[in-house]
Amino acid sequence: MPPAARILARRLYFFPHDLIAKTKGNNLLKPPEGMIYTGGGDFLETGKRFKDYFIKYGGLLPSDHVLDIGSGIGRLAIPLTDYLTSEGNYNGYDLIAQGVNWCQQNISPRHPNFHFHQIKLHNDLYNKDGLDASTYSFPLDQNSQDFVFLISVFTHLIPEEMAHYVREISRMLKPGKTCFATFFIHDDLLPEVNDAFSFKHRKEIYSLMDPKVVSANVAFKKKYLFQVFKDSGLQVQHYFPGYWRDTGEQEKSLDFQDIVVLRKE
Ligand SMILES: C[S@@+](CC[C@H](N)C(=O)[O-])C[C@H]1O[C@@H](n2cnc3c(N)ncnc32)[C@H](O)[C@@H]1O
């Protein structure tokens, strides 16, 4: 289904549920179910869990200047509103107007140091139009950010876009500061996968789940990916393999996707 039709179908499906929730007058800072286009799971629980990881493994501080690339509809921004102080600030960038607008209308008025921006870039899963992400420059100064994160975003970027974003992140981070990101990472051998979730279309440095929608799910070969980090001046501080591989050891992973914590040299 095309991206806009997918988003509309979800809104219609959840319309009765969201109407009832609205009439009950819920004050919780959370988008209506029908507007959440950014993945399954418990929206608030997932956001809170990642906030805890940011603090525990990424050293996120309340006064940090934070950049959220692929901010979606505020899943990670919402829990940070209770953590970042007025000394800190947050900037989120995303392609999809529905998510950016909801955050601008519902988060920024209550938390004026939270800013959301739409960037009109192409991604064949999310936006059929738009400019090439592999040449996009974020409008943030060199050495200006303390903490950059991308949750379930590099899993939708092709290698040129991913490598360009890694270089951009390195440019924007202050020396010694952190990037926290999720990926699908594999070695030379095809990892153990279940049939419903497998990267069968293998290329030299990456693999795809569906060659018809290239950005649907992208996995990178570890050796290539870690070389991109190194070439961009980012050191791997932590690597937590995810349970997408179906190893039967789900409890040992932090998340379904692989997590990498990087530090700028
Ligand atoms: C699976 S959603 C995750 C959203 C959010 N990070 C979260 O965890 O809730 C992926 C998001 O990445 C955004 N995206 C895709 N390509 C992008 C790009 N080149 N730059 C920034 N965001 C992008 C999509 O619009 C979408 O909102």
Which residue's alpha carbon is nearest to atom 8 within ligand 1?
A: 151
List, chain by chain if needed, residues with CB within 6 Å of any ligand 1 atom.
Answer: 38-39, 69-70, 72, 75-76, 93-96, 99, 121, 123, 126, 133, 151-153, 156-157, 161
91 within some domain: yes
Tens digits of residue pLDDT in 189-230: 666 566 768 888 989 999 999 999 999 999 999 999 999 999
92 within some domain: yes
3-state secondary structure of 69: strand
| Tally of structural domains, the chain | 1
105 within some domain: yes
Ligand 1 atom closest to residue 95's alpha carbon, by position in its atom list: 25
Provide the domain limits for residue 91: 41-264
34 within some domain: no
7 within some domain: no
10 Å CB burial of residue 123 (0-12, 13-18, 19+) is: buried
Cα(38) to centroid of ligand 1, in Å? 8
222 within some domain: yes
Rounded Cα distance between 91 and 132, Å, is 21
66 within some domain: yes
Tens digits of residue pLDDT in 91-117: 999 999 999 999 999 999 999 999 999
Note the pTM of the prediction, 2 decimals: 0.93
Ligand 1 atom closest to residue 74's alpha carbon, by position in its atom list: 9
20 within some domain: no
Task: CATH number of the domain at 146, please.
Answer: 3.40.50.150
